[in-house]
Structure 1
């Protein structure tokens, strides 16, 4: 791929990391709660699907007709993600232990932690890493078994089931018999926002973009605007129906919005600069480290969320810059990437 096209992707990765920080610090809530809700539930909710899609795009571009070679590629990919996940799990252990001791849940807490480690992240924002691993395994084997169309169909069904569980949770909790089944689901799996229901369709979209020709930039931009407008309308509908909760995030409109967003970025040609590669690395580091700063800052400044947001960004960027700068001098820092 032309480096000019990579520039737009790297910039978008960095911006997406900043949007994820928004989700966890809700910067505008003290200024206008309605604006804060809409900004997080529309603009910011595009970030994680974007990350999944780009991951799928670059992975499936590398696949060949050699099945054994493809399996090795998948193993190396999963091993890298697992390594990063385990390292950050260890880094967040003090926070995890503090939360565990504060909750005083005993053995139930340990069992919940083990469940979360596998399905929902060892710390709440790290859920993306096991979800990406699980989603990639599902997408890869569906693709290898019956091709891209089959993978997209199955992934779409999984997403729709997850959408019903995620968005309409208040409804299921209010229906007597279904509420029991839904409680069983939340106790065992917690949420459908994971690698089984959420990730495969966006990884599949990445595969679709990798294996098909680009739509024209102009058409894609118009379609993106329309899709985003539908996303805003969808969010508005759920707010009116009283379905909006903190973890509500699996919107139907995110599927076309993400597709047209990434297609648009892939048609953009921006002169490439070395700083864009740094932005790519910074995006992962900001994503993984920001909670380390956000948690104490939110405790210290509970009524200054916009300040917490910018302080979190500044500290996270400072950390990322140090890692990128000294990773050659201290090879252990490369393990964070």
Structure 2
């Protein structure tokens, strides 16, 4: 990458661009088998660190992210959350929070004074014309009511609350009817319980008669004496069993190796070597391990359940190999 591209990427990172920040972090951590995924939520920055194993040394990684963000000095980001998890996991194994600066207090917009429109307020006339007030105007004249029937109930209509002894000889009938409606439910449940108990007793009685031989039931098996063939069956089975001391045991079927698992194992070894690599020979071993892991990922068949993941890992491991080769070129002998 040219110096001009690096300068432009750093300017984007200083402006708070999450992709540019992720590129700067991955430039240093990819060689150790750690990939950074960065997401921004307003003034919060979320940094997810992933690897074939859970990235260890969380304290050093958090300090690395803290120093980088303090160097960028992004004024619009005040909190950074760093997470660590293994590839393929949904939830992180650890997380730490970095407070870069105190969040600004929330801005409260002042409420403008409400101008009341005097025209909307009803006016009250304090000077009531008491002299012209006549109480007779408030009295309803009998002539104003044209028909009394409109205000009185019909004469031939009887109130429903009037008690008539001929129609209702016993006022408690309604309560008795309610009681009679509930009682059948209780009796039905008792009848059902007695029926089940009676049926169970009959079954027990029939089973006893069958076992004693008094009354055989055709649908139940009877006792039968063992036949000579059945008695000799265990002996024959023992005789035909293979000798435990035989010198030619049956070999177990061989299981085929999983290229995805082998690739992950090799990549994990490469990541461990990268964490302690210092000399040119050390970084050469790291590059060779990443090359082997990428080659194994290419052998994962399309029928494998993690074929899509394997395609991404091929490119990632190849990039890690290039970074390790660059480290080896600049490392001391």
- Give the TM-score range, shorter chain: under 0.3
Over alpha carbons, which structure has the higher Rg?
2
Q: Which has the higher contact order (CA 8 A, sep 6+)?
A: 1
- Indicate the structure with greater helix content: 1
TM superposition score normalised by structure 1:
0.22
TM superposition score normalised by structure 2:
0.22
